[in-house]
Structures are given as C-alpha cells and as structure tokens.
Amino acid sequence: MSKITALFFLVMFVIGTDTFLISPLIPTLQSLFGVRTELAGWMMGAYTLGSAVFALIAGPLSDGWDRKKVMLSGLVCFAVSTCLCGFAVDFWSMCLFRFMAGVSAAFTAPQVWASIPTLYPPAKISKALGVAYAGLAVSQALGVPIGSVLAAVNWSFPFWAIGIFSLLLAVAVYFAVPGMKPHQQQGAKPSIFKRYVPLLTSGKARGTYIAYFFVHLGSSAAFAFLGKWLADGFSLSVDEAGYVIIFLGLGNLLGSIFSPYVIKALQPFRTMAAGMLVIIVAYIALPHIPSVLIVKGAFFFIFAILGILFPLMVGLLNGLNPAIRGTISSLATSTMNAATTVGAWTAGMLYALFNGYAAVGIFTGICLACSLLAFISSGVLSPQREKERMVCDGSDF
C-alpha cells in the first residue's frame, strides 16, 4: 500500500507542477510570444478551462469504469500534451496544448481522490488524502522552482521534463495499482449528468461548492500574476521568482502535514474561520510589502494556513455523498479549475487596469471572505454534520 501512496503523491506532484509552472514563466512567454498583459493569463487559463469542462464528464464516467484504466489513460495523454507545450510556436498553439493538458488532467487527478477511499481502510483515508495533497504542496516547493531553473536555460525544458516523467509514472501505475472496477448496479445506469442530481439538489452541497469556488478564485488570481509582480516590482528573473515560490510550497507542505492535528485540536469550524480571516488580511497587505525577504515569509505563512485548510475542504466535499465520490471529486476539480480560469483572467485585467498587484490582493481578500461566508451558511461545518461525515468515511481528524 505504501507504493500506491507514493505513486498518488507523484501523480499529484506532476499535475501540480504543470498547473503552477506557468506563473513564473509568464514574463518570459509574454515577451517571447508578444502577448499583452491582460491576455497573458490565458496561458494558465487554457489549462484550467480544459480541466474544468471535461472534469464534469470524467467524474460520472469514471464511477462506471475501472478507475485504474481511467488514471492510466489520462496520464499518457497528459504526458504527450505537456511535451507538446514545449514545441509551441506562438500564443495560440501554447493555449491549445495547455487546453489539451488540462483535459488530460481532468481524467487523472480526480481518480486519485476517488481511489483513496476505495483502496484504503477508513482509519487511513485522511492520512492518505494528506499525502496526496502534499504532492501538490511539494510541486510548489520543488517542482516549480526546478522548472524555473530549467526554463532559465530554455523555456521548453520544464514541459519536456514533466512529460517524460509522467510517462514513467504511467508505467508504474500499470504495474502497481490494482484494478478498481465499479460496483454492479441493478437496473439502468443513470446518465452522466443525472449523477450530479444528488449534489445539485442539496443545499449543503451547493453551498460547499460555491465556497470552494471562491477560495480558488481568490488564491489562483493571486498566484497567476505572482511571477509578473516579482519581475515588475523587484526585478527578479524567472529562476529567482522560482526560488520565491519555494517558500509557498514549503509552507503548503508544512500545513498539509499538520492539518489533521490542527483540525482535531480546533475543530473544523474554528479552523476554517480563524484560518480564512488571517489570510484575508495577509493577502490585502501583501502587495505593499517592500522587501523580497518579507514577501517570502508572508507567502510561507499564507500557504501554511492554506495547507491546513485545503485537506479540510476536500474532506468536507468527500463527505457529502460517499456513494458518488468520483462525481464529487470531478465536480470539485471542475469547480477549482473554473475558478482558476476566471481568476487568472481577472488578475490579468486588474493588473493591467490598475498597473500593479494591489488590486489583485484586494480581489483575493474579497473572494476569501465570500468563501468563508458560504462555508458557514451551507451548514457543512456544523457539529452534527461533522459527526455524520466521520461516520461515513472513518476520518479521524
């Protein structure tokens, strides 16, 4: 089982690296392709748009298929499309290949979240989810900085490296991960979109997904033009911006490690409320920090809190309806990537319109405040709801 856990960690690592890599590369690619600032965010948005749209289809389909085969196929397509990004000749070809990579990721990442409750005993689910999420954190701490260093030599190198590594992972998944055939259901199988009915008709589910949308809308807007801000405000090169992102990843990793213990000590409601309020203030203040050293510390602090909160959010989503976890995971992926698409576009517009990062920080703070209000009003953080979730998945937060 430890081999599978390591593989899930690495799958999320490569997907996270590919997702976040564009941020420090935006100044380089913007200059290379001659793209205006307000359009540059679409090099990230194309990826998340593809993932957002196709995750809605991938989730319900995967609930009726062998999850191993879906994950394997997604990884191979992800590897090929990411390699193609390194051969892009202009802005539009880059957007096309990024869109294809996002579509492939939509069939891959949700299988990790949905497979863990299937393969692991209840007592180990929350820890396995934490390890998988740590793959995203480490992708920021190590994957993106390494990619930035490679990009300083040639901007294509990080895309080729991710593609080759993903192909090797696909081979490992083929041999190590067991088949996960769906449970046989009596009667006709529901259509793809009918699988979403239990979520769409639940007030708690709607509120939780709205909250999840807003938290990613704000955080992705702040991250999308981080590289641009570091280049404009502090004259950092692409590899130097990558070193700053190390502190984001380290904070995220630390937070994800301690997340179960913090949530258990404070309980979900107090953890969510306190964490959100602190990072709202931090994001609004961030653009006014005059020192790169303090910026590194601020990002470490912010992402340590986000590292605590995101596993809690994933646990709340998975507890909505344990019978359709694949659909839940894919709708969460779609929600996250739709928010990232809108966030990247909005950040570009705000950065160009107000000539700087301050408006982006305010926008992020407003989005996080809306997310907190949506989580509270949905009732998903109520003590009774928490007891029901723990009974359903055996979580020991």
The predicted pLDDT at position 392 comes to 46
Percent of the chain with pLDDT over 90: 36
What per-residue confidence (pLDDT) applies to 64? 67
Burial class of residue 31 (count of CB atoms within 10 Å of its CB; 0-12, 13-18, 19+)? exposed
Query: Is 316 a domain residue?
Result: yes
Residue 164 predicted with pLDDT over 90: yes
Question: What is the reported pTM?
Answer: 0.74
At residue 108, φ and ψ (nearest 5 deg) are -105, -60
From the number of C-beta atoms within 10 Å of its C-beta (0-12, 13-18, 19+), residue 36 rates as: exposed
pLDDT of residue 353 exceeding 60, the answer is yes
Residue 371 in domain: yes
1 vs 251: CA distance, rounded Å: 27
Residue 369 predicted with pLDDT over 70: yes
Whole-number pLDDT of residue 315:
83
- Distance CA(362)–CA(293), nearest Å, equals 22
Count of domains for the chain: 1
For residue 247, give every residue at least 6 positions away whose Cβ sits within 8 Å of its Cβ, in sequence order, or none.
296, 297, 299, 300, 303
At 188-224, the pLDDT tens digits run 555 666 777 888 888 899 999 999 999 999 998 998 8
Is the pLDDT reported for residue 397 higher than 90?
A: no
Cα–Cα distance between 299 and 290 in angstroms, integer? 14
Task: Give the residue among 203, 212, 368 at the shortest CA–CA distance from 284.
Answer: 368
Tell me whether residue 188 is in a domain.
Answer: no
**CA contacts within 13 A on the Cβ side of 104:** 28
In a domain, 147, yes or no: yes
Whether 186 is covered by a domain: the verdict is no
- Residue 396: its pLDDT value, please? 40
Q: How far is CA 174 from the centre of its chain?
A: 24
The pLDDT of 346-363, averaged and rounded, is 92
Buried b (16+ CB within 10 A) or exposed e, 362-372: ebbbbbbebbb
Residue 231 CA to residue 227 CA, distance in Å, equals: 6
Q: What is the CATH number of the domain that holds 64?
A: 1.20.1250.20
Across the range 103-122, mean pLDDT stands at 82
Residue 156 CA: distances (Å) to CA of 92, 239, 265: 16, 14, 45
Give residue for tokens 């005993």: 121
For residue 354, tell me if it sits in a domain.
Answer: yes
- Assess if residue 47 is contained within a domain: yes
pLDDT for 114 equals: 76
Residue 123 is part of which domain span?
2-177+193-393
Tokens of 205: 């589910």
Structure tokens at 239: 């590899």
Q: Is the pLDDT of residue 78 over 60?
A: yes
pLDDT at 386: 53
Give the tokens for residue 108: 């891959």
CA distances from 221 to 41, 123, 207 (A): 9, 36, 21
Closest CA to 18 of 219, 134, 163: 163
- Does the residue 362 lie in any domain? yes
